[in-house]
């Protein structure tokens, strides 16, 4: 195997191996590494190191460094195919993806044990290309202003009750966080959620569909991109009861009226904004999405299959469509990964415009 001195000779940098070595008053190795790096790439990433990182273990210089970094971390798995396909290993990989870690997928081929399968380290040139792609993503939206909506609106019935839906807001928040990380100026108009505001994002809190429309109209004029990820209620009570409806008064009759179609109204006000809509469907997913992209004059639509239990989940199933039809389909990916895919598609389309 290659010794530390070989790495030091070839790179011109010290090869560090000891978590507790070379400490001083002004230098702690794993913190120094973390603050110095623009990215961290683990080659090869064994089942052991993937498991340790997923569990937050930081008992050596590598894992302690990874625990301290705020830059992208890329793992290049390499192991026997049975180990790679082990449900626990796959669970750890999925967990790390959800938390923003990147994976350079292993290749299919002859393994060190003599068998063939998926688990062979990806070619070095592929890993380098993947690293370049990840680093390029960091500032590719730096000149753009994004207006993003999230969460499920609440339509008040009385001071206690309201009509709402199952949206958690996770998709919209993931989009806002990713857009900000990639350099965009982001305003997030959020219906009530249990989520913490993404760092560096301006958050406007709203309750109802009408509140969201007013907030969006205020910020839409300055936006370059609108992403309507919020689940806006379709109906609201005609009359708000100022006093709580008492149970003993019998079953109340609540008449409903349509809420404003926010994305349709904003698309009618657009100058040159790029508009992305969402469609949550139980049936005829892509057909209904195609109808919405035309009816609401959208540039792109993200179709969600809600039969997969996506509400409240960290994962999702999506189809991306434009006016010509389906661009791509993705199954059981994290919402953070979906956010990156959606933003990359937006960036490509804006580049084509220019």
Asked if the structure places residue 5 within a domain, the reply is: no
Q: Are 78 and 121 in contact (CB under 8 A)?
A: yes
How far is Cα 76 from Cα 64, in angstroms, rounded to an integer? Answer: 18
Residue 307 shares a structural domain with residue 197: yes
Confidence band for 11, pLDDT divided at 50, 70 and 90: confident
Residue 125 shares a structural domain with residue 151: no
The pLDDT tens digits for 127-167 are: 998 888 788 776 789 889 999 999 999 999 999 999 999 99
Structure token digits, residue 58: 């930081």
The mean pLDDT of 299-306, rounded to a whole number, is 93
pLDDT at 133: 78
Residue 232 shares a structural domain with residue 293: yes
Residue 125 shares a structural domain with residue 172: no
Q: Of the candidates 81, 109, 137, which is a domain's last residue? A: 137
Contact residues for 123 (Cβ-Cβ < 8 A; gap 6+):
107
With a pLDDT cut of 70, the percent of the chain lying above it is 97
How far is Cα 250 from Cα 160, in angstroms, rounded to an integer? Answer: 17
- Provide the domain count of the chain: 2
Residue 52 shares a structural domain with residue 105: yes
How far is Cα 252 from Cα 246, in angstroms, rounded to an integer? Answer: 9
Asked if the structure places residue 246 within a domain, the reply is: yes
Q: Of the candidates 117, 137, 157, which is a domain's last residue? A: 137
- Residue 101's domain spans which residues? 10-137
Q: Of the candidates 137, 162, 178, which is a domain's last residue? A: 137
Nearest to 210 by CA among 171, 173, 182, 240: 240
Which is catalytic among the residues 55, 113, 194, 216? 113
The pLDDT tens digits for 73-104 are: 999 999 999 999 999 999 999 889 878 899 99
pLDDT at 353: 81
CA atoms within 13 A on the CB side of 261: 13
pTM recorded for the entire structure: 0.71
pLDDT at 179: 93
Structure token digits, residue 237: 């009570």
Helices (H) then strands (E): counts for the chain: 12, 17
Q: Is 113 among the residues known to form the active site? A: yes
Upstream peptide bond of 209 is cis (omega within 30 degrees of 0):
no
The pLDDT tens digits for 31-73 are: 888 888 889 999 999 999 999 999 999 999 999 999 999 888 9
The pLDDT tens digits for 169-220 are: 999 999 999 999 888 999 999 999 999 888 889 999 999 999 999 999 999 9
pLDDT at 187: 97
Residue 198 shares a structural domain with residue 273: yes
Residue 17 shares a structural domain with residue 124: yes
Residue 204 shares a structural domain with residue 236: yes
How far is Cα 176 from Cα 201, in angstroms, rounded to an integer? Answer: 7
The pLDDT tens digits for 213-241 are: 999 999 999 999 999 999 999 999 999 99
**Alpha-helix residue ranges (DSSP H) falling in the chain:** 4-11, 29-36, 47-54, 61-68, 81-85, 87-98, 124-137, 170-181, 209-220, 262-267, 285-295, 335-353
The pLDDT tens digits for 318-337 are: 999 999 988 899 988 889 88
């Amino acid at each position: 195997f290659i010794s530390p001195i070989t790495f030091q000779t070839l790179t011109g940098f010290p090869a560090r191996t000891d978590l507790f070595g070379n400490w001083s008053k002004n230098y702690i190795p794993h913190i120094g590494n973390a603050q110095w790096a623009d990215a961290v790439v683990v080659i090869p990433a064994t089942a052991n190191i993937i498991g340790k990182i997923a569990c937050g273990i930081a008992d050596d210089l590598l894992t302690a460094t990874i625990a301290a970094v705020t830059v992208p971390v890329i793992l290049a798995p390499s192991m026997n195919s049975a180990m790679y396909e082990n449900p626990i290993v796959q669970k750890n990989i999925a967990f790390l993806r959800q938390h923003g870690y990147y994976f350079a997928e292993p290749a299919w081929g002859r393994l060190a044990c003599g068998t063939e399968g998926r688990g062979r380290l990806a070619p070095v040139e592929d890993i380098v290309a993947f690293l370049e792609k990840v680093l390029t993503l960091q500032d590719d939206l730096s000149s753009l202003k994004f207006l993003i909506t999230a969460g499920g609106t609440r339509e008040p019935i009385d001071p206690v009750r309201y009509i709402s839906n199952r949206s958690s807001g996770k998709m919209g928040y993931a989009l806002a966080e990713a857009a900000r990380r990639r350099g965009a100026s982001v305003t997030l108009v959020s219906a009530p959620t249990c989520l913490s505001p993404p760092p560096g994002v301006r958050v406007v809190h709203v309750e109802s569909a009408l509140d969201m429309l007013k907030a969006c109209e205020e910020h839409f004029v300055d936006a370059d991109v609108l992403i309507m990820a919020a689940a806006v209620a379709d109906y609201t009570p005609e009359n708000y009861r100022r006093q709580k409806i008492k149970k003993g008064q019998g079953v109340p009759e609540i008449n409903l009226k349509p809420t404003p179609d926010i994305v349709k109204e904003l698309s009618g006000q657009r100058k040159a904004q790029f508009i992305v809509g969402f469609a949550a469907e139980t049936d005829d997913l892509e057909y209904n999405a195609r109808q919405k992209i035309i009816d609401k004059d959208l540039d792109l639509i993200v179709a969600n299959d809600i039969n997969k239990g996506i509400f409240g989940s960290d994962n999702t199933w999506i189809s991306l469509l434009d006016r010509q039809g389906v661009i791509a389909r993705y199954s059981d990916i994290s919402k953070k990964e979906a956010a990156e895919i959606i933003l990359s598609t937006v960036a490509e389309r804006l580049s084509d415009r220019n």
